[in-house]
Amino acid sequence: MEPIAIETKTPEELLTWAGGEFKNVGLASSFGLEDMVLIDMIHKLKVPISIFTLDTGRLHEETYQTMERVRSKYGLPVKVYFPDKDQVENLVREKGLYSFKESVENRKECCRIRKVEPLNRALADLDAWVSGMRREQNPTRTEIQKVEKDAPRDGLVKINPLADWTLKQVEDYIAANKVPTNPLHERNFPSIGCAPCTRPVEPGEDVRAGRWWWENPDHKECGLHRP
């Protein structure tokens, strides 16, 4: 598919294309609003796209509840990947439970151990993966394409079906299709990650202002979605 043609495709068209184009495709889900939209679409389209998630060991209870709602409502299996036990134990023993607040480097180390390494294992057997990233979410995401090469992972293709969607489009889809969502969204958590690294946002703040709020917005990626 030509790049220009890709950018005109709807999320449903891109998911259908991905399911037929690649042998093994997986959706990386943290069960946020965008991921729930994509799960609903995958269920309705019946495309062969698996769902996987990363359990860092520090997720909100509400996130686990949402995961179980996916299983019960859609009947879709969710493959869970955990961080390496020895790496987590060494990190906590050497630097404590909150080293990620001491520097950007420490925070990225924690993200690497708890998220990036498990993601790499999850992607090892895939030809392409799907994410719920949108361009308006953060300054680090304004240039993402709907289909792009995953630069750090040679040969892997990354698909962002909702890249050009606005938050209103996401919310309208959820309302129209009665998509279950994480209860934290009703408490002003538009973007949800690990419990110690996520807070509600104030009126007027961008959707990722509650993630690692002590850092500069230009640093607010954990390494899962490296440019």
Residues with active-site annotation:
222
* Angle (deg, nearest 10), helices 61-74 and 33-45: 10
Q: 213 is written with which tokens?
A: 């709020």
- Please list, in sequence order, all residues whose beta carbon lies within 8 angstroms of the beta carbon of residue 112, skipping any fewer than 6 positions away: 223
Residues sharing a CB contact under 8 Å with residue 10, sequence separation 6 or more, in sequence order: 161
The residues, ordered by sequence, that sit 6+ positions from 131 with a Cβ below 8 Å of its Cβ are 27, 28, 158, 159, 160, 225
How far is it, in rounded angstroms, from Cα 49 to Cα 122?
13
What radius of gyration do the chain's Cα atoms show? 17
Residues 6+ apart with CB under 8 A from 69: 180
End-to-end CA distance of the chain, in Å?
Answer: 22
Two structure tokens written together for 23: 């042998």
Could you tell me which residues come within 8 angstroms of residue 166 by beta carbon, excluding any fewer than 6 positions away?
134, 136
